[in-house]
Structure 1
Amino acid sequence: MAHAENPGATPPKVEFIVSPGLPEWLQRHSISFGFTSYQTGQLFLVGLMPDGSISLNQQNYSQAMGLCWDRGSLYLASKFQIWRLENMLRPGQVGNDRFDAVFIPRSAHTTGDLDVHELAIDSAGQVVFANTSFSCLATLDPVHSFRALWRPDFISELAPGDRCHLNGIAMLDGAPAYVTTIAGTDEPGQWRKHRVDGGLLIDVRTGNIVAEGFSMPHSPRTVGDMVYLLDSGRGYIVEVDPIKGTSKDLAFVPGFMRGLEIYAGLAFVTVSKPRYGTFAGLPLDAELHARGLAAWCGVMIIDLSTGGLVEWFRLEGDITELFDVTALPSIAAPMSLGVGSEELLTSITFN
């Protein structure tokens, strides 16, 4: 039996189906995970109940996109704010008789609508995010909406308009190392004309383009000397050698990918049903047709060494598009409190 909880506002209708082995897999690896949907504006946390059933906790965060777990804190980008959520439980405590982590929103930095796609935490504990609207990497500023850290050489000015659709950050040694853009364009919205093969992987440290020709790439991640990313318009997880500038396909995923978390050699990937009004003409459409597959919405866990599907979590109902995903190691059953919920008003803790 599956459990779904959402104190507060009435959520969209959601049903989920999981792979038969997912409950045992979560227990064996002592892990849970979270993901976001900007389509419905929600944070989802997936874990395992004491009775062995899957738990799905959902809370409302307007246009929820970037999601990051770092040093015990959960960071979330919403439409015009970046949130920091903390586990309010002390060691050994349990929330609602079954949750071993209860994430409560402790701070929100108001940025305005920057279309923040991804965020990460650097070695100094500073939030770094993909400021997609302004085509740059940025961090929080105590007075202003943001402080720019870096922008591609082909972006001529710091201005709104989403010129190249800079959407993903790869960290290395606690600092930004690579970004993905859908094109190398410098005019607002012009990246849409280059969705099929205009995608770039750029080295932040040198400004060099290390690999190109991707279709709507997202979510670069570093593992050792390699960079992994989602070649979303083709439907493939790709491994890039940034020294040689070469890439190879690792696995095909049946849907439009946006979020990637790599943990212990496994890729957690969010997959969505394509909006054919927006994604028509991408190679993904032809690939799905050739394979006789229909796109679906959910999270897939893929073994990067083999490209094989390990476990999966599938959503049905009102939600057809997901965004980011993060693994939550050493947490069995997480839940969160929503902004404005009655539980939030009465959940008071002190040191």
Structure 2
Amino acid sequence: MNTTRDSAVAENKPASSKAADQQQQKVAASQASVTTPRAEYSLSGGLIRRLVEMNASLAFTSYQSGLLYMLGSNAAGAAQLHQSAMPKPMGLRADGNGGLVLSAGAQVMRFANVLEPDQRINQTYDACFMPRVNFVTGQLDAHDVGVDASGEAVFVNTRFNCLARPSARHSFEAIWKPDFISELVDEDRCHLNGLAMKDGRPAFVTAVSRSDTIDGWRDRRVDGGVVIDVERNAIVCEGLSMPHSPRWHGGKLWVLNAGTGEFGHVELPSGKAKTGKFVPVAFCPGFLRGLAFHGKFAFVGLSRPRYRRFEGLALDEKLKASDSEAWCGVQVIDTETGTCVDWFRIDGDIGELYDVELVEGFRCPMTVSPTSPDAATLITFGQP
């Protein structure tokens, strides 16, 4: 597998001028000084072939490593993993218009692909996602992000227990909060984290609890988790263990029950029932966060749990019962059979991922860090 980090940028044809060569050497030297976490990567034999058949690549974030990853296939058909430094990368979502949205530390960032279809970076990358719009929100501990029907970003403002939009004036514009949260206050009370969009609107969110006191969620990690219908502001599933990453796909609401290591869907309430139930589809050996779909296949993010904070969860017992260790990476689950058909694994210093997304239409994309030399030296423009 080829692994790169903020590669020097070239045109669609190989750079041949002395100036271009010097620029590439300068970028390579500047990146060589960046400390990269020690990690080993492995993957199943069919994963890259599957991504090629989907005409897609796999993106995932790790706030632990401070990297945004893009896994694709190069011209030789081999796996190509690109890494870009980002400030605490968390929620990641394709915007439906060829771009990406990322919640990153004190920012919500919009990325645009600056390449034409026939252009390549360093004869390898068929997309180059540049940071073009950067909303400075302050440290909101923003988790999942989405994009609504008007193209505007929506994000989970975890510190203030609400859904929010970026604002041209303020740190954020609150647009919704759960009914059980009594006021908009800078206290992570319920640990609101996940967001499912449906028909261009926020549809469902997940929270670790329905607590209305600061840090109250930490005492409800085992079974206090809830899924909330945003429009009705009603809980539609309860009794979950640290649920994350709700997604609406194929007419179903899918959720990761992270504290049990289970991927499944929610049977929404009907008739006189006030709440529905969680239906497990597969057990994955890890703390689950990050979920994306392509047809019947789900791409599920796994992390090695931080036991000092997440000890006592059912995941521990499930791992012991299956004689397994938690691992970090992405598993591809066939939703019809509940089996893992492909996987990508990370060993070493990196043990936690947050979000997973499929970048469709591109087989080998890269991203540019806003603090890298490439962000300053790559100039593109539209024709008049």
Q: 1:142 corresponds to which residue?
A: 168
Q: 2:4 corresponds to which residue?
A: 4
SS in 1 for 2:144: strand
Structure 2 distance, partners of 1:114, 1:37, is 17
Contact 2:189 2:215 in 1 (8 A): yes
Q: 1:249 corresponds to which residue?
A: 280
Structure 1 distance, partners of 2:79, 2:342, is 13
Aligned length: 351
Structure 2 distance, partners of 1:210, 1:225, is 16
Structure 2 distance, partners of 1:100, 1:75, is 19
C-alpha distance after superposition, 1:310-351 (max 9, x if no partner): 211111222110000100111110111112222222110011
SS in 2 for 1:116: coil
1:261 to 292, 309, 326: 292
* TM-score normalised per structure 1: 0.98
Contact 1:197 1:215 in 2 (8 A): yes
C-alpha distance after superposition, 1:253-293 (max 9, x if no partner): 00001111122121111101111111110000000000000
Unaligned 5+ segments in structure 1 are none
1:315 to 330, 346, 349: 346
Contact 1:3 1:53 in 2 (8 A): no
How much has 1:224 moved relative to structure 2?
A: 4.2
- Equivalent positions of 1:1-351 (< 5 A) are 1-7=1-7, 8=31, 9-70=34-95, 71-244=97-270, 245-351=276-382
Contact 2:238 2:277 in 1 (8 A): no
> Which deviates more from structure 2 when the two are superposed, residues 112-121 or residues 303-312?
303-312
The one-letter amino acid of 1:5's match is: R
Structure 1 distance, partners of 2:85, 2:111, is 13
Structure 2 distance, partners of 1:154, 1:318, is 39
Structure 1 distance, partners of 2:363, 2:303, is 25
Structure 1 distance, partners of 2:3, 2:226, is 41
> Which deviates more from structure 2 when the two are superposed, residues 109-118 or residues 25-34?
25-34
Structure 1 distance, partners of 2:206, 2:228, is 6
Contact 2:333 2:339 in 1 (8 A): yes
How much has 1:10 moved relative to structure 2?
A: 3.3
Structure 1 distance, partners of 2:249, 2:328, is 26
C-alpha distance after superposition, 1:180-199 (max 9, x if no partner): 01101000101000000000
| Percent of residue pairs bearing the same amino acid type | 45
C-alpha distance after superposition, 1:189-234 (max 9, x if no partner): 0100000000001111111111100000001111244211000000
Structure 1 distance, partners of 2:71, 2:290, is 16
SS in 2 for 1:154: coil
* TM-score normalised per structure 2: 0.89
Structure 2 distance, partners of 1:162, 1:99, is 40
Contact 2:6 2:374 in 1 (8 A): no
The one-letter amino acid of 1:180's match is: T
SS in 2 for 1:222: strand
Structure 2 distance, partners of 1:336, 1:47, is 12
Structure 2 distance, partners of 1:225, 1:335, is 32
Unaligned 5+ segments in structure 2 are 8-30, 271-275
Structure 2 distance, partners of 1:102, 1:336, is 6
How much has 1:6 moved relative to structure 2?
A: 3.5
How much has 1:2 moved relative to structure 2?
A: 2.9
> Which deviates more from structure 2 when the two are superposed, residues 163-172 or residues 336-345?
336-345
How much has 1:29 moved relative to structure 2?
A: 1.7
Q: Which runs of 4+ in 1 moved over 6 A?
A: none
> Whose radius of gyration is greater, 1 or 2?
2
